[in-house]
Chains A and B, each alone.
Chain A
Amino acid sequence: MFRRTSAGVVLSLLFCSSPLLAQQRAYFVTYDHYLEEPGNLELAVATTTGIPKRGESVYTAPWLEIEYGVTGWWTTELYLEGVTTRNDGNAFTGFRLENRFRPLKSEHRINPVIYVEYEGINEASRIQKEIVGAGGVHYEPIDELKREHEKELEAKLILSSAVRGWNLSENFIVERNLSESEGFEFGYSVGVSRPLGGLASGTACRLCRENFVLGVEAYGGLGSTEAFDRAAQRHYVAPVAAWRLGERTSLKGSVGFGLTDTSDRYLVRVGFAYELPVGSR
């Protein structure tokens, strides 16, 4: 009985008809200029699964994302993240609090967004929502890594354009570790995506083209003010896809291919988002 009720709740969350989901971002790492709608709360769960190149343990790093549209020009977001590995243990790896500000009132050829994030994480963090600096993922046992706490401040300049049905986004990232001196670390991500539909059909449909967005993103770390070692950089290219399951829900996925020796072989990402109105404008 309980199982049947739970399944009913899950299905109604997936396919409920209450209207809401306005914009659908297929990217995992790259940000575009579309902020959360004012008064909307988005809850998302996602995972990054890393498949290393040299026999290290496969890991899965899940995270919970709580995103709220405070105003039309300001979105705030809290992340809680963890990691689990096949052989090296599991851990809660910390939190991130981010704010995105869109300074311009309306749409332009290039739309800037300012992004500021505070991170209270430990060395076991592997969600790789962005990659900065140089060097690979730490593969020491999770129990050791989780004792190494760090506080970081990160800023991004997000530039995003809508061009003939395509979205083009570029993110320039700079990060400062407040816990130890690592200089300023730099990273980037760029993405291009496109919704598949043209005219919307007049009937409800789950699998029609208008519910899908396809794209590709590339991201990586560039080094820091203290070291710029091209051989230690990590770069990935990742096709991405998003599917609107219902008016409030979306599912997305990507497979990232590591392009350098320091990169993992693959980063497989899956995410599910649910949006609900909680406030007024």
Chain B
Amino acid sequence: MVMTRTILAGLLCGLVPAAVVGARQSWSDRQSEWKAPAAADTKQNPLASRPETHAGGAKLFAERCSACHADDGTGTSRGPNLTLKRVQSQTDGALFWKISSGNTRTGMPAFSGIPALQRWQLVSHVRALVEAAP
């Protein structure tokens, strides 16, 4: 009985904050506030002229991004459409920074834990999403 009460109390400790988080901003509100710093904006993609690396980017995207952004990058309820102008108009450096840094407010994970070259491969693939769109 004591054990049951303790487990229930413990679960409540987790559930109460969950309820508080229920009232959240919409995804687009949170996204519109998210800007890469100026220093990140100017970085060049070292793989832009190496098309042989793009297949790796497609694989990484399928493994790590498509659950939220869909296989073709057009977005799901968990993540935005990456083929839109507001994403594609950003510089490679800004996209690299956002992939690396993540955003705890929008739910975008930080991918700084994977090698930088792989993050650049992802940037190349995000660019390729538009070319592949019908």
Residues on A facing B (Cβ under 8 Å): 18-24, 32-35, 37-39, 70-74, 76, 78, 95, 97, 99, 102, 104-107, 118, 120, 151, 162, 165, 167, 195, 197-204, 210, 247, 277, 280-281
Further 17 A-B residue pairs, CB within 8 A, beyond A118-B10, A120-B3: A19-B64, A22-B109, A35-B109, A37-B109, A70-B18, A72-B108, A72-B109, A74-B17, A99-B13, A102-B104, A199-B53, A200-B59, A200-B118, A202-B53, A203-B59, A277-B78, A281-B78
Q: Which residues of B contact A202 (CB under 8 A)?
A: 53-56, 58-59
A33 touches B10 (CB 8 A): no
Show 18 residue pairs from A and B whose CB-CB distance is below 8 angstroms, ordered by the A residue. Answer: A19-B62, A19-B67, A20-B67, A21-B64, A73-B105, A95-B10, A102-B104, A104-B104, A106-B104, A106-B110, A118-B10, A120-B6, A195-B114, A198-B118, A199-B121, A201-B59, A202-B54, A281-B79
B115 touches A281 (CB 8 A): no
Whether a CB of chain A sits under 8 angstroms from the CB of B134 is: no
Interface string of B35-74 (1 = CB under 8 A from A): 0000000000000000001111111101111111000000
Interface of A is mostly: loop
Q: Which residues of B contact A78 (CB under 8 A)?
A: 11
Distance between B112 CB and nearest chain A CB, rounded to angstroms = 4
- Known contacts A23-B113, A71-B21; decide if A118 and B55 are in contact (CB<8 Å): no
B79 touches A162 (CB 8 A): no
B21 touches A74 (CB 8 A): yes
Residues on B facing A (Cβ under 8 Å): 3, 6-7, 10-11, 13-14, 17-18, 21, 24, 27, 53-60, 62-68, 77-79, 100-118, 121
Distance between A59 CB and nearest chain B CB, rounded to angstroms = 23
Bound Cα distance from A197 to B63, whole angstroms: 15
Distance between B24 CB and nearest chain A CB, rounded to angstroms = 8
B21 touches A70 (CB 8 A): yes
8 Å CB contact of A204 from B59, B78, B106, B111: B59
Q: Which residues of A contact B24 (CB under 8 A)?
A: 71
Bound Cα distance from A180 to B103, whole angstroms: 41
User: Of all chain A residues, which has the CB nearest B15?
Assistant: A76
A106 touches B55 (CB 8 A): no
8 Å CB contact of B106 from A18, A72, A200: A72
Bound Cα distance from A281 to B62, whole angstroms: 19
